């Protein structure tokens, strides 16, 4: 157990003063763990602070309108997590008298909580001898023991889960698990790990063999697929057209500017994107526009996809129909702050806000892009 003792001593001296470490309240630990999934610490901290001001208790979250919760989450992505947080808070109020359950199986039964998050909550909030197997822990253990199993495979994760559980010093799960994560974040980093100053380098097989950069082992990467989409900033006077994605759909409950997928698996020129978006907008809303012009592009990545989102501005016209039938509204830019957007559509909202309130000279745009 020599390396555990050295790691715990290092953690005691070097742990960061994170806000959920002040009292280890289960509610605060839970929120931090959900926010930290696939998100860097420096990004999470301001979101966490704002969240706790808006929803300081589990009961406050349970009582909050969904739109307010989604707005507080805006920018973190994976919006189902925000909806699950609210739904789980309501279930805890109803089924556990508002007290966060302490046993592992009950924690695991909550919506949006898998075995790894349940282990984190059980060990950090309640100091139970349950493992945490996040990216930092996987990296540290894979280097310490030079483990060849891919960390992104089901068999590999099961092996790391069993190993980490066997390493927890009795009654020290909270500190030991956090020490592993902290060590991975500050010392045993993905690139250029600080091996000479590592407190457990003498116990690290990868360091002894000079193979730190070879771990963790990962399976074959999937190819990146290129995607093109078009979005419309439709202006009428001082207002802009928004619609709300239906509940149950991907990113349900979020507001957005009209958007269409244009191409999958191939490149698309700005000219092609202009013509396709113009056709889709005119067909979906059954209207002609007084102007239809390019306003910029936004890049976004998601699950092995690299998307170019072409943004266009339009003026004039009235929707004679709405093919989607989603709830919609004409909203002035000064009220955008009340509407939850995805990160991409928050950027589109910035484009909309920057547009002049002065109406442009009336003109129509044909499919070819010629003005008349």
Q: Which residues contact 200 (CB under 8 A, 6 or more apart)?
A: 3, 6, 7, 10, 144, 183
Closest by CA to 131, choosing from 139, 141, 144, 120, is: 120
Nearest residue to 149 via CA among 211, 164, 209, 158? 158
For strand 225-236 and strand 305-315, is the pairing parallel, antiparallel, or unpaired? parallel
Where do runs of H (alpha helix) occur along the chain? Answer: 2-14, 26-35, 41-54, 58-63, 66-73, 80-95, 104-108, 115-126, 135-144, 154-167, 173-186, 205-208, 270-285, 343-354
Q: Measuring CA to CA, which residue among 151, 138, 157, 142 is closest to residue 212? A: 142
Partnered with residue 371 across adjacent β-strands are 365
Strand 259-264 to 225-236 pairing: antiparallel
Tell how far CA 24 is from the center of its chain. Answer: 23
Residue 156 Cα to chain centre, angstroms: 24
Q: Which of 12, 28, 33, 307 is catalytic?
A: 33
Q: Cis link prior to 216 (omega < 30° from 0)?
A: yes
Contact 292, 122 (CB under 8 A): no
Helical H segments across 187-303, by residue range:
205-208, 270-285
Residues 6+ apart with CB under 8 A from 133: 116, 119, 157, 160, 161, 164
- Collapsing DSSP states into helix, strand and coil, what is residue 78? coil
33 has catalytic annotation: yes
**Annotated catalytic sites, by residue?**
33
């Amino acid at each position: 157990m020599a390396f555990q003792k050295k790691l715990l001593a290092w953690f005691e001296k070097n742990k960061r003063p994170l806000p959920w470490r002040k009292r280890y309240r289960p509610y605060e630990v839970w929120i931090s763990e959900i926010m930290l999934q696939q998100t860097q610490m420096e990004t999470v901290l301001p979101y966490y602070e704002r969240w706790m001001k808006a929803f300081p208790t589990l009961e406050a979250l349970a009582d909050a309108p969904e739109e307010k919760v989604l707005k507080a989450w805006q920018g973190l992505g994976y919006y189902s997590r925000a909806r699950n947080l609210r739904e789980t808070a309501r279930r805890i109020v109803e089924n556990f008298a508002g007290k966060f359950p302490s046993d592992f199986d009950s924690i695991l039964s909550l919506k949006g909580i898998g075995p790894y998050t349940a282990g984190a909550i059980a060990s950090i909030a309640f100091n139970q001898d349950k493992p945490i197997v996040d990216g930092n822990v996987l990296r540290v253990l894979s280097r310490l023991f030079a483990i060849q199993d891919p960390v992104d495979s089901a068999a590999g994760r099961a092996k790391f889960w069993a190993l980490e559980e066997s390493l927890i010093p009795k009654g020290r799960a909270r500190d030991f698990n956090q020490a592993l994560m902290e060590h991975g974040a500050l010392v045993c980093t993905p690139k250029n790990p600080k091996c000479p100053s590592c407190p457990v380098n003498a116990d690290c097989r990868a360091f002894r063999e000079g193979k730190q950069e070879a771990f963790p082992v990962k399976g074959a990467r999937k190819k990146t697929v290129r995607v093109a989409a078009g979005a419309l900033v439709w202006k009428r006077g001082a207002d802009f057209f928004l619609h709300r994605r239906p509940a149950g759909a991907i990113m349900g409950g979020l507001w957005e500017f009209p958007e269409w997928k244009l191409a999958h698996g191939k490149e698309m020129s700005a000219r092609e994107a202009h013509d396709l978006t113009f056709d889709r907008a005119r067909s979906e809303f059954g209207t002609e526009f007084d102007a239809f012009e390019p306003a910029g592009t936004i890049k976004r990545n998601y699950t092995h996809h690299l998307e170019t989102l072409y943004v266009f501005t339009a003026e004039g016209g009235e929707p004679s129909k709405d093919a989607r039938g989603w709830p919609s509204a004409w909203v002035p830019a000064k009220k955008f702050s009340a509407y939850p957007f995805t990160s991409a559509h928050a950027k589109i909202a910035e484009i909309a806000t920057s547009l002049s309130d002065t109406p442009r000279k009336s003109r129509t745009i044909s499919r070819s892009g010629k003005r008349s």
